[in-house]
């Protein structure tokens, strides 16, 4: 089966917002084994929307729309799709009662135009919106499956996973299960090279490499009649992939490096403190994005100025004079200094030149030194990147987390 995604919203065309819904839905369709051949963005115009839907009807088995389900006059997705597929609109009383209850709970009067959200194509499957007011829906007509979801990601993303994916799961035939093998320290091309022979011979499960910011992952997907049978197919393949990729694998079906590091510190009863210069608190931010990080994270020092490095972290002036702030020696003194200052078992020090300016021939922009201090020893690494300020900072933070993982776990 193949699907086409249609995002409805003039604000997307104008560049006011980014269409992140399409990414989430496309990833989910891939997991279900449903191909996506086209993605379209159209403004809040009924004639253009009708044309786009008619085109999609002729070339896709499944049409998924996001946006245009609200209460205003320009929210015309349901009405337009119902017209194209010969469906009448009908008031869905349970949805209307939910909308009324929503406004009662927040202590606001519901205006008459909000009733519009409860009018849905007759006979459709209703997707209850637990995260907002506009319900989604799905129906089949002319041999096509049509699904409509609200546009705001805070509503669309959970409704896609909780309502739309289970609906489509029944259409996919059998069962499709994926495992994601997360990798850091190995580029996408190098990862594909290691897996190339295995990828060529595999048919079920299949292996697909993907690149993310500063890291990669390999998705192993199996098709079977039941989840248990799919898992049985996956287990030996996942084990073989992990063996081929070695220590660069930091987890299977995990959320992030920061989650893996946090779980590892918690399991070992260790505490962590970080001192950051060029990353400007990014590492601390990522660590504290993980719920429950207070179990192991004590705090951080953003020591951008050399004076802060000296007075707060105890970095020696003679070291700064001799080798400069961007050096392995200073990274090590920062790591040891923050561990001592905050009483942590593990300290991290990051110092570098994020760029684009500030570099020299000897120390170019993108040069970063990272040190992990634990058990009275330093584990220090030099990192060099030329892919821009944001990439340098993100890669440095990820490298620091990966160094903790490799050093302590």
Question: Whole-angstrom Cα distance, residue 79 to residue 68?
Answer: 10
- For the residues 96-104, what does the mean pLDDT come to? 92
Fold observed for domain 257-408: Maf protein (3.90.950)
Residue with the bigger pLDDT between 294 and 171: it is 294
When pLDDT is averaged across residues 382-402 and rounded to a whole number, the result is 94
pLDDT attached to residue 173 = 66
> Which range, of 108-112, 118-122, 239-243, averages the lowest pLDDT?
108-112
Average pLDDT over every residue of 104-129: 93
Q: Is the pLDDT of residue 171 over 90?
A: no
| Domains of the chain by residue range | 2-172, 175-252, 257-408
Half-sphere exposure of 47 toward its Cβ, with a 13 Å CA cutoff?
0
What band does 97 get if pLDDT is binned at 50, 70 and 90?
Answer: very high
Question: What is the average per-residue pLDDT within 372-378?
Answer: 97
pLDDT of 27 > 90? The answer is no
pTM of the model: 0.75
Q: Are strands 367-374 and 377-384 parallel, antiparallel or unpaired?
A: antiparallel
CATH no. for 2-172: 3.40.980.10
Average pLDDT of span 163-182: 85
As assigned by CATH, the class of the 175-252 domain is alpha beta
How far apart are alpha carbons 293 and 248 in whole angstroms?
24
Task: Identify the band that residue 325 occupies on the pLDDT scale cut at 50, 70 and 90.
Answer: very high
Band the pLDDT of 348: cuts 50, 70, 90. Answer: very high
The more confidently predicted of residues 226 and 13 is 13
What would the pLDDT profile of 184-225 be if each residue is shown by its tens digit? 999 889 999 999 999 999 989 999 898 887 899 999 989 888
The CA distance from 248 to 187, in Å, is 10
On the question of a common fold for 2-172 and 257-408, the answer reads no
Contact of 125 with 147, CB cutoff 8 Å: no
C-beta neighbour count of 97 within 10 angstroms: 11
Could you give phi then psi for residue 198, rounded to 5 degrees? -65, -40
Under a CB-based contact definition with an 8 Å cutoff, are residues 330 and 315 in contact? yes
Q: Is the pLDDT of residue 59 over 90?
A: yes
> Is residue 192 exposed (0-12), middle (13-18) or buried (19+ Cβ within 10 Å)?
middle
pLDDT band at 169 (very low <50, low <70, confident <90, very high): confident
Query: Are 246 and 259 contacting, i.e. CB atoms less than 8 angstroms apart?
Result: no
Instruction: Indicate the pLDDT class of residue 387, thresholds 50, 70 and 90.
Output: confident
Q: How far apart are CA 246 and CA 237, in angstroms?
A: 14
Which range in 171-175, 278-282, 385-389 is most confidently predicted, on average pLDDT? 278-282
Mind listing the pLDDT tens digit for each residue in 298-317? 999 999 999 999 999 999 99
pLDDT, the chain, mean: 94
């Amino acid at each position: 089966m193949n699907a086409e995604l249609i995002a409805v919203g003039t604000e997307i065309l104008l560049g006011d917002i980014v269409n992140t819904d399409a990414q989430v839905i496309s990833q989910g369709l891939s997991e279900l084994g449903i191909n996506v051949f086209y993605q379209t963005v159209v403004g809040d115009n009924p004639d253009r929307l009708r044309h786009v839907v008619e085109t999609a009807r002729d070339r896709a088995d499944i049409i998924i729309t996001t946006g245009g389900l609200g209460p205003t006059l320009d929210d015309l997705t349901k009405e337009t799709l119902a017209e194209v597929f010969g469906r009448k609109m009908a008031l869905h009383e349970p949805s209307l009662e939910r909308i009324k209850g929503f406004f009662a709970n927040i202590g606001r009067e519901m205006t008459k135009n909000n009733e519009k959200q409860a009018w849905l194509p007759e006979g459709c499957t209703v997707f209850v919106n637990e995260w907002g007011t506009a319900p989604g829906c799905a129906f089949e007509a002319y041999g096509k499956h049509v699904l409509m979801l609200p546009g705001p990601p805070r509503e669309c993303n959970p409704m896609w996973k909780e309502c739309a994916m289970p609906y489509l799961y029944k259409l996919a035939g059998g069962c499709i299960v994926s495992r994601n093998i997360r990798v850091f320290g190995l580029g996408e091309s190098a990862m594909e090279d290691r897996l190339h022979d295995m990828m060529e011979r595999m048919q079920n499960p299949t292996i697909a490499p993907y690149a993310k910011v500063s890291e990669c992952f390999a998705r192993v997907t199996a098709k079977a009649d039941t989840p248990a049978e799919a898992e049985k197919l996956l287990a030996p393949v996942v084990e073989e992939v992990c063996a081929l990729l070695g220590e660069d694998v930091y987890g299977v079906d995990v959320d992030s490096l920061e989650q893996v590091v946090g779980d590892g510190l918690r399991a070992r009863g260790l505490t962590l403190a970080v001192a950051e210069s060029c990353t400007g608190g990014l590492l601390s931010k990522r660590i504290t994005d993980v719920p429950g990080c207070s179990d192991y994270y004590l705090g951080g020092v953003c020591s951008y100025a050399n004076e802060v490095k000296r007075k707060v972290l105890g970095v020696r002036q003679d070291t700064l004079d001799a080798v400069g702030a961007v050096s392995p020696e200073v990274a090590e003194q920062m790591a040891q200094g923050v561990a001592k200052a905050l009483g942590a078992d593990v300290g991290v020090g990051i110092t570098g030149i994020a760029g684009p300016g500030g570099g020299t021939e000897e120390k170019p922009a993108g040069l970063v030194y990272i040190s992990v201090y634990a058990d009275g020893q330093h584990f220090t690494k030099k990192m060099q990147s030329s892919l821009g300020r944001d990439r340098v900072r993100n890669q440095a933070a990820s490298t620091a987390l990966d160094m903790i993982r490799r050093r302590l776990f």
